[in-house]
Structure 1
Amino acid sequence: MATNPWTAAPAAEGSAHQYEGFIGWILNLMDTLGEPGVGVALFIETFFPPVPSEAVLPGAGFLAYSGEMNVWLAILWATVGGLLGAWGFYAAGALLGRDRTARLVRRTPLLEIEDFHKAERFFARFGGLAVLLGRCVPVVRSFVSIPAGIERMPLFRFSVYTVVGSAVWNTIWIGLGFAFGPAIEPVLLQWSGIISNLVIAVTGLLVLWFVLARLRKLARARRSEDTST
C-alpha cells in the first residue's frame, strides 16, 4: 500500500536532540511535546517576535518529513497557538482602550505615538483585511490585534480572519520545511549551531539598529526644540 507523504513516516536517523543552538531548542521543544509543541512555539513567537515563525514553522515541517509528527496536525496546532496569542493582544487593546494605549506608547522608551496612529489608520481603512493580511507580515502579525481590540471588532469575526490568515501562513512555511526536508537535514546536522548563532546575531543587529535609529531621531528632535526656543 502506498504511504501518504503528508502523514508521519517512520522516524529518520536524525533526531531533533542532535541539533544545536537556537534551532536545536525549537526542534527539541516540538519533538518533546509533539504537534502541540508547534502551537506553544507559535504562542511564544506572538509575544516575543525575536523568535520568528519563519524559523519555527519550517522546523515543524522538517520534523514531519523525518517522521516525528503529522504535518496536518502541526498546521492545526500552529494556527491554534497563533489564535491564542492574537486573543491576548486583542484583549489588551479592548481592556486598555485608545487613550490608555496611547499614553502607554508615549511613556515607553523608543516607541513613537505616530506609530500607534499609523496602525490605527491602517486598521480603520482596511478593517478585517488588515487582520487577515497582517497575519502574514512579520512583527505586524503580533500587534495588528491591538487596534482590533481597541475598536472592539466582533470577536468571532476577528477570530475567523486570524485563523484564515494564520492557516495560510503556517501551511506555506510548514510545507516548505516538509518539501525541502531531504536538503535541510544534512545542513542542520552539520551547521545547526552556527546557523542558530547567525539568527541570534542578525536579530541582535536589527534590534541595535532600531534602538540607534530611534535615539538619533530623539536627539534631532531635542536639538530642534532647543534651537526653536
Structure 2
Amino acid sequence: MLINGLIRLALEIMFTPISDEVLLLTQLGIWASKNINPYMAWILAWIAIFIAFLWFYIVGRFFRQVPLIEKWMTKKWLQKAEKLLDRFGVCAIMLAFFIPGVRHPIHYMAGILKFPVNKYLLANLIASSLYTGIWTFIVYKFNQKIGIKLILFWLHQHVFIVLILLTILILGLIFYKVKKNKGK
C-alpha cells in the first residue's frame, strides 16, 4: 500500500498537469488518515518527489541531444543562461521547489543546459527533503487538530454543496475577468 502510493505520487507529478502541492497533499492526507507514521510518510514523499524531479532533469538532458535543440542552444542568450545557472544553479534549483510555476521549468532547464549532475543531485536532495518535510508536518498537524477523516467524511456527505460552491467561485472569477477586460 505504501509503495503503491509512492509510485502513484511520482508518476502523477511527472505526467499530470495538476499542481504538485495538490498531489502531494492528497497523498499525505491519505497516509495521515490511515495513521501511517509521519516519518515514514515524509521519507516516502521525499523519495517520490526526488525521483519525479530527477525525471525532469533527465528529460532535459535528453532534449539537449536533439539536433534542432542543439542548433538552438548556440544562441547567445542561452550561453548567458548557462553561465547564470553555473553561478546560481544550486540556489535556483532549491528555491524553485517553493515557487509554483517555476518548479518544473528550472529542472528541465538544468538538464538542457547540462548543469553538473552532482550539484543537481545535491540541490534536489536537500530541497525535496525540506519541501516534503514542511508539507508532511503541516498535514499531520492538521490531522491532529481537526482530523482528515472528519473533513473527508464531510466532503463525501456534502459533495453537491462543495461542487456548487466551486462552480459559483469559478464563474465569479470568470465574470470578474471578463468585466475587467471589457473596462480596458
Q: TM-score, normalised by structure 2?
A: 0.67
Q: Does 1:158 align with 2:158?
A: no
Select the structure that is richer in helix: 2
Amino acid in structure 1 at the alignment position of 2:60: G
RMSD: 3.9
Other structure's SS at 1:127 match: helix
Does the alignment pair 1:94 with 2:61? yes
Q: Identify which of 139, 154, 168 aligns with 1:190.
A: 154
Structure 1 residue 48 corresponds to structure 2 residue 16: yes
Letter in 1 for 2:58: A
Is the 8 Å Cα contact of residues 12 and 23 (structure 2) preserved in structure 1? no
Give the Cα–Cα distance (whole angstroms) in 2 for the partners of residues 195 and 39 of structure 1: 33
Partner of 1:146: 108
- The separation in 2 between residues aligned to 1:60 and 1:181, in whole angstroms, is 13
Q: Which blocks of at least 5 consecutive residues in structure 1 are unaligned? A: 1-32, 105-115, 210-229
Is 1:180 equivalent to 2:146 in the alignment? no
Structure 1 residues 49 and 136: CA distance shift in structure 2, 3 A: farther
Say whether 1:71 aligns with 2:33. no
- The two structures have a TM-score, normalised by structure 1, of 0.55
* CA deviation vs aligned residue, 1:120-156 (integer Å, no higher than 9, x gap): 4874663111111112222322221111112212212
Q: Is the 8 A contact 2:10 2:51 kept in 1?
A: no
Q: Distance in 1 between matches of 2:162 and 2:119?
A: 38
Q: Tell me how far apart the structure 2 counterparts of residues 133 and 73 of structure 1 sit (CA, whole Å).
A: 25
C-alpha separation in 2, matches of 1:172 and 1:195: 31
Q: Give CA-to-partner distance per residue, 1:148-187, whole Å, 9 cap, x none.
A: 1122122122011112111111111121111111423322
- The one-letter code matched in structure 2 to 1:144 is I
Q: Secondary structure in 1 aligned to 2:119?
A: helix
Quote the Cα distance in structure 2 between the aligned partners of 1:155 and 1:53: 23
- In 2, are the aligned partners of 1:41 and 1:81 still within 8 Å (CA)? yes
Q: Which residue in the other structure is 1:34 paired with?
A: 2
Question: What number of residue pairs does the alignment pair up?
Answer: 161
